[in-house]
Chain A
Amino acid sequence: MGYRDVAKIGIGGPVGSGKTALVKHLVPDLVDLGYEVGVIANDIMTQEDADVLRRAFAETVPEDLVRGVETGACPHTGIREDPSMNLAAIDEFTEWNPDLDVVIVESGGDNLAATFNPELADYFVFVISVAEGEDIPRKRGPGVTQADLLVVNKTDLAPYVDADLEVIDRDTREVRGGDPYVFTDCKSGQGIPTVREHIERVLFA
């Protein structure tokens, strides 16, 4: 068993867009569906933060399958140019748990330009936030245009930041060129089932 034997979901996006909130929804959902899940977060800087994630998944994921990977201040390097330390962590996950089905690799870094090395992520989800500005989809960027699934999060905040969801929807449809995207509000859980369905359809069909 090694990293090639397990499905890997890469979740990237700017700081504060809601990646961790999405992970906190997806992990228990996938566990409920019967999948064995591991979690790696690349933007964790301290062991204390890693413990916070372990506590969040205390009832759903074994402690050994939640890992923070320190990336020497280069999280984008850790998921793109040189994913070796993430792959080594996944290799260790599979040694400890040969029944592992999927690993979620979360990473910030490089704002809209962050993409995942295809060896590290079989499915790439990019998360942006309505609160970052109505024009975020129009700015394109490799994360927005190349992700397998684009998640537009924090739709509940649109009225408070003068963001028009219809404009965001129109621009997103145009820049995605037919590729899927989902509007979510991770606080209430709205849109999460659709994200999960996309992931299941591609990785576990």
Chain B
Amino acid sequence: MPTDSSAFLTALRLADSSLPVGSYTASYGIEQYANEGLLEEVSDLRAVVEAYLERVVGPCETVAVANAHAASADGDLDGVLAVDERLHAVTLPREFRESSTRAGGQFCDLLLAAADGEAVAPAYATAVEAGTTPGHYAVCFGVYTQAAGLECEVACLTQGYAFLVSLLGAAQRLGRFGHTDVQSVLESTLPVLEEVCARHVETPLGEMGAFAPFAEAMGMRHERATRRLFMS
């Protein structure tokens, strides 16, 4: 998995929580787990995060990043649009879709519209801007990282890491966990992230699909939550 220094720095930039795409506003259901008393112990948090990695980040987000990256490398705009369409279809909770497409839209404005590369990145950004494709974050991420010279697996790991840190940050801000506990969960789940990325980096688009019914139910119940700090 060789990568040059420029690509490495790009990966750090994209994984940094200061990237202004609004990721701090999304908890992807974590807030609802907390609201319903299902996130009391560190072991609860570790189990939920591992489940997200195994059942959402790997088979869904990673597959989206990897297939968008590959289609972009082939100059295949239709292939990128197909990834976007599929990801939209398999992301069941409305708030999860909205968080992803809002962040994707911001990512397009910030980076993708001005990205180097062949015709795919700016053409895809134009389609997102026009509203003819949803513009999911993972798809934007795959297209941009390909244009920026990141290896596909590095791109998947970077996106997965950013998602993981965002989830843990949400859990911490909900006031249930201390910084030491959060770092402990992060450390113990990094190998899981590595494993799921390696397992799914070559998964074909037709096999993309999350299976996380409990997390999805939490995401749907969050839509009607009376107390909300997060958009999802």
Binding site for B on A (CB under 8 A): 45-48, 69-74, 77-78, 81-85, 87-88
Contact = CB atoms under 8 A, between A and B. Distances in A.
A46 B173 contact: no
B174 A73 contact: yes
Given A72-B24, A88-B22, A45 B173 contact: no
Contacts of A77: 24
B25 to A, nearest CB: 5
Interface string B70-82: 0000000000000
Given A85-B231, A88-B105, A71 B24 contact: yes
Q: DSSP majority for the B interface?
A: loop
Contact of A70 (B18, B25, B174): B25
B44 to A, nearest CB: 20
A81 B226 contact: no
A73 B174 CA distance: 8
Contacts of B227: 45-46
Contact of A84 (B27, B106, B225, B230): B106
A85 B22 contact: yes
Q: Is the interface of A mostly helix, strand, loop or mixed?
A: loop
A72 B170 CA distance: 7
A74 B24 contact: yes
A87 B110 CA distance: 12
A76 B214 CA distance: 32
A72 B230 CA distance: 4
B9 to A, nearest CB: 20
16 contacts: A45-B229, A46-B225, A46-B227, A48-B226, A69-B25, A70-B230, A71-B25, A72-B25, A73-B230, A74-B24, A82-B18, A82-B20, A84-B106, A85-B22, A85-B231, A88-B105
B130 to A, nearest CB: 12
Interface of B: 18, 20-22, 24-27, 102-103, 105-106, 110, 170, 173-174, 225-231
Given A46-B227, A70-B25, A85-B25, 19 more contacts: A45-B229, A46-B225, A46-B228, A48-B226, A69-B25, A69-B231, A70-B230, A71-B25, A71-B229, A72-B231, A73-B173, A73-B174, A78-B25, A81-B20, A82-B18, A82-B22, A83-B20, A84-B102, A87-B106
Contacts of A45: 227-229
A45 B22 CA distance: 17
Contacts of B231: 69-70, 72, 85
Contacts of B18: 81-82
Contact of B22 (A47, A73, A84): A84
Contacts of A47: 226, 228
A44 to B, nearest CB: 9
Contacts of A84: 20-22, 102-103, 106, 110
Given A82-B20, A85-B25, A88-B102, A70 B173 contact: no
B167 to A, nearest CB: 12
A31 B127 CA distance: 36
B26 A72 contact: yes
A175 B170 CA distance: 37
A72 B27 contact: yes
B11 to A, nearest CB: 19
Nearest to A91: B105
Contacts of B228: 45-47, 70
A85 B24 CA distance: 10
A74 B226 contact: no
Nearest to B105: A88
A2 to B, nearest CB: 9
B173 A82 contact: no
B24 A46 contact: no
